[in-house]
Amino acid sequence: MNPAQVSGDLALEFLALHSSLRADRDGDHPLQRLVDLAVDAVPGCDWAGITAWPAGARPESLWATSHLIGELDHLQYSLRQGPCLSVGRSAGFAAAGDLADGGPWPAFARRAVEGTPVRGVLAVRVSEEPAVVLELCSGTPGGLDAPAFERAALLAAHALVLLVHRTPPPEPAGLHLALTAGRQIGVAVGVLMRAYGVGAQQASALLCSSSTGIRQVLAENTLSPS
């Protein structure tokens, strides 16, 4: 498959998933649906949330699947270390496969293991200013592996597009939506290229595959009886 086709397929997948997330279901906010979907669609993810961390202020869990996300956010704030802080300061993603090993945030890891069921964390930047982070947590050591990271990078890109377009734009603004989506696809591709040391085509193919899988989970959830 040539690069143009890979890029085109990814763009179509991205916009299709965006439309599915925006579809009104039971009055849920699209970003609440996104974090709920993360638990179903990201391998190893047991809890998920989107956290805002304005400069000089405490973190705020804007959308979350559990109170655990808020507990972890405030633990990071009090200790001045943790995955969300690392993402805000550096390359766009941070992870610890097993917090029992300490990892890059020993004080945070120790307190998280002592006080919560969380054992693995993965944080991906949604936006830099203000700092907004998609935070995924697992109760299983090593539960958030490579496929989880790929889907998390894609969902973080969707989160920013949904934040930018909180209200449906007028029809002529569809081009603006496409341009915003295109920029975020590029960001997600870049995250995977840095993480895996692969080229743009391979990173795009990984994201396209992830999008197809996430849309399938979303469709299955929509069709399932409540």
Phi, psi of 23 (to 5 degrees): -60, 135
CB 156, CB 128: distance < 8 Å: no
Q: Look at residue 120 in the predicted model and tell me its pLDDT.
A: 96
Q: What is the pLDDT of residue 169?
A: 47
Question: 33-43, pLDDT tens digit by residue?
Answer: 899 999 999 99
Answer whether residue 107 is part of any domain.
yes
* Residue ranges in the chain whose pLDDT is less than 50: 1, 167-175, 225-226
Q: Is residue 52 part of a domain?
A: yes
The pLDDT of residue 16 is 77
Decide if 2 is inside a domain.
no
Residue 164: the pLDDT is 72
At residue 88, the pLDDT reads 67
How many angstroms separate the CA atoms of 131 and 221, rounded?
A: 30
How far is Cα 185 from Cα 30, in angstroms, rounded to an integer?
18
Give the pLDDT confidence score for residue 47 in this predicted structure.
97
Separation of alpha carbons 63 and 60, rounded Å: 9
Looking at residue 165, what is its pLDDT? 61
How buried is residue 40: exposed, middle or buried, by Cβ count under 10 Å (0-12/13-18/19+)?
middle
Q: For residue 130, say if its preceding peptide bond is cis, omega within 30 degrees of 0.
A: yes
What is the separation, in whole angstroms, between the first and last Cα of the chain? Answer: 40
Q: Is 45 a domain residue?
A: yes
Q: What residues have CB less than 8 Å from 49, skipping those under 6 apart? A: 35, 61, 62, 63, 64, 65, 66, 69, 70, 73, 134, 135
Q: Is residue 87 part of a domain?
A: yes
Range(s) of the domain holding residue 207: 8-219
> What CATH number has the domain bearing residue 193?
3.30.450.40
Write out the H or E segment, with its range, that includes residue 120.
Answer: strand 120-127
CA separation for the pair 137, 97 (Å, rounded): 10
- Residue recorded with tokens 């895996």: 196
CA 145, CA 110: separation in Å to the nearest integer? 21
- What is the SS3 assignment for 131? strand
Measuring CA to CA, how many Å separate 109 from each of 11, 27, 77?
38, 36, 13
Residue burial 16-39, b: 16+ Cβ < 10 Å; e: rest: ebbebbeeeeeeeebbbbbbbbbe
Query: Can you give the pLDDT at residue 79?
Result: 93
What pLDDT score was predicted for residue 2? 54
In a domain, 224, yes or no: no
The structural domain count of the chain equals: 1
Q: Determine, yes or no, domain membership for 202.
A: yes
Length of the chain: 226
Flag whether 1 is in a domain.
no
